[in-house]
Amino acid sequence: MRNELKLPAIEVKQSPGRTLYTFAIDGKLVPKFAAISRVRRKDDGGLVGYQRPEVLSHIDEIRNYLESSAPMVPNAVVVAFDSRVKFKPDTKAATSPYSRFGVLTIPIEEDAPDERKPGFVVDGQQRLAAIREAQIDSFPICMTAFITDDVSQQTEQFILVNSTKPLPKGLIYELLPGTNARLPSQLDRRRLPAVLLERLNLDTGSPLHKLIQTATNPQGLIKDNSILRMLESSLSDGVLYKFYSEDGAADVEKMLNVLHAYWAAVKAVFSAAWGLPPKKSRLMHGAGIISMGFLMDTISDRFREREYPSAGQFASDLIPLKDICQWTTGSWDFGSGVHRKWNELQNTSKDIELLTNFLMAQYKNRVWLVAESSSRGKNVKQARAR
């Protein structure tokens, strides 16, 4: 059965193409027309929704307050409506350059599944859950809404509203690839790394397929922030930087090609340490991922005449380091009397720098200098032959 809610509302024009509607509504009625779009992955890997799971302890606190003698909740709940929701202005009411009164009509379909409801909650999930559970007959709340059929706009508003609140950063980073709008600079810088992380985690041919721990892949082994830091470093001044065009556009596919080649080589060379929890393998730990990312850039620099090394070339350069990498057992000998048990390496700047410098020095001594010496000897022989 289809019904309609007709609510007095104020339309506010904030900027070209950006219109808000503010009105009052009984919070108990909101679940009839607005759903909580919790973030999850579809079977094909696509991201659906953008909300965090309900925090039960927080909801209980709000519910207890609502059941007290004189509760007040001044903050507005934010909802995104699709175009089925209509606003009809009151031509007789007073107006201003940026606002006018009217009636907002919201269609309601009894027992409709969440995906068919015209509204999605952008902010206020916990408050609405508390109102739903509270032993009260009704509770009027303020609501602000905008109308769009573009899910990316809903996601962008969710990120902007929640980026300054206690919200898991991993959830925001996982949502970034589906956005296009201008975001705060810190988030904007992480958009491309987030795109690469998503592809590394979801592409079936990726050596890191389903290994990165995210909001929708909590069983992953490698912390998303470790991968993001590795990618950001390479995008800043490593091999991935090569794949920006003059106008600043990124060639994501070429970036993924080099990432696939390198991490496939790491997986093959250090197979005994690959795919284990970080507590059992420091290769899958933040210190290992970030330091090996620096090594990826160094190896690529040796093959500077090529766009990037092949998986085989990466592997050939990694093999000489195999015996000095204590990812799962033993102790690292960092020289100058510095020894660390394999599991004492921590995800700190100091330990990451220690491990990175060690791997770089060992690589240059065991591979780079040997290769250069061999190349010089070959050139001398060719010159004598002439």
CB-CB contact of 197 with 228 (8 Å) = yes
The CA-atom distances, in angstroms, between 203 and each of 46, 55, 63, 178 are: 11, 31, 43, 16
pLDDT over 90 at 126, yes or no: no
Reduced to 3 states, what is the DSSP secondary structure of residue 134? coil
* Mean pLDDT of the 241-248 span: 89
Reduced to 3 states, what is the DSSP secondary structure of residue 105? strand
Model pLDDT for residues 144-202, shown as the tens digit of each residue: 999 988 877 767 776 776 655 555 677 677 777 777 766 666 777 888 999 999 999 99
Task: Classify residue 167 by burial, with Cβ atoms within 10 Å: 0-12, 13-18, 19+.
Answer: middle
Considering 49-63, 66-80, 163-177, 255-269, the range whose residues carry the highest mean pLDDT is 255-269
Residue 315 has which token pair?
Answer: 């592997």
What is the structure's pLDDT at 58? Answer: 73
Residue percentage of the chain with pLDDT more than 90 = 62
Dist. CA 260–CA 243, nearest whole Å: 15
Which phi-psi region, left, alpha or beta, contains residue 3 (left: φ > 0; alpha: ψ -120 to 50)? beta
Dist. CA 49–CA 115, nearest whole Å: 10
Model pLDDT for residues 268-292, shown as the tens digit of each residue: 999 999 999 999 999 999 999 999 9
**Residue scoring higher pLDDT (53 or 109):** 109
Return the amino acid letter for 113.
P
* Mean pLDDT of the 251-271 span: 97
* Mean pLDDT of the 65-78 span: 90
Q: For residue 203, what pLDDT band results from cuts at 50, 70 and 90?
A: very high
Mean pLDDT of the chain: 87
User: Tokens 């980073």 correspond to what residue?
Assistant: 173
What is the structure's pLDDT at 343? Answer: 95
Q: Looking at the DSSP assignment, which residues form a beta bridge with residue 331? A: 341
Q: For the ranges 197-206, 208-217, 282-291, 364-373, which has the lowest average pLDDT?
A: 364-373
CB-CB contact of 187 with 206 (8 Å) = no
* Mean pLDDT of the 125-131 span: 90
From the list 323, 304, 303, the residue with the least C-alpha distance to 366 is 323
pLDDT over 80 at 138, yes or no: yes
What is the structure's pLDDT at 377? Answer: 53
Q: Where are the domains of the chain?
A: 2-162, 190-385
* Mean pLDDT of the 114-134 span: 89
The CA-atom distances, in angstroms, between 299 and each of 4, 118, 262, 302, 316 are: 64, 53, 9, 5, 10
pLDDT over 70 at 96, yes or no: yes
What is the structure's pLDDT at 383? Answer: 44
How many beta carbons lie within 10 A of that of residue 242, not counting itself? 15
Rounded to two decimals, what is the model's pTM?
0.62
pLDDT over 70 at 238, yes or no: yes
* Phi, psi angles (nearest 5°) of residue 119: -125, 150
Q: For the ranges 8-12, 119-123, 156-160, 314-318, which has the lowest average pLDDT?
A: 156-160
Reduced to 3 states, what is the DSSP secondary structure of residue 182? coil
* Mean pLDDT of the 16-43 span: 84
User: Tokens 């005449």 correspond to what residue?
Assistant: 305
CA atoms within 13 A on the CB side of 375: 7
Dist. CA 311–CA 257, nearest whole Å: 10
Dist. CA 262–CA 273, nearest whole Å: 16
Q: For residue 40, what pLDDT band results from cuts at 50, 70 and 90?
A: low
**Residue scoring higher pLDDT (187 or 298):** 298
pLDDT over 50 at 384, yes or no: no
pLDDT over 50 at 119, yes or no: yes
Check the CA dihedral 367-369-371-374 and report its sign: negative
Residue 85 has which token pair?
Answer: 């929701």
User: Tokens 């709340």 correspond to what residue?
Assistant: 141
Q: For residue 32, what pLDDT band results from cuts at 50, 70 and 90?
A: very high
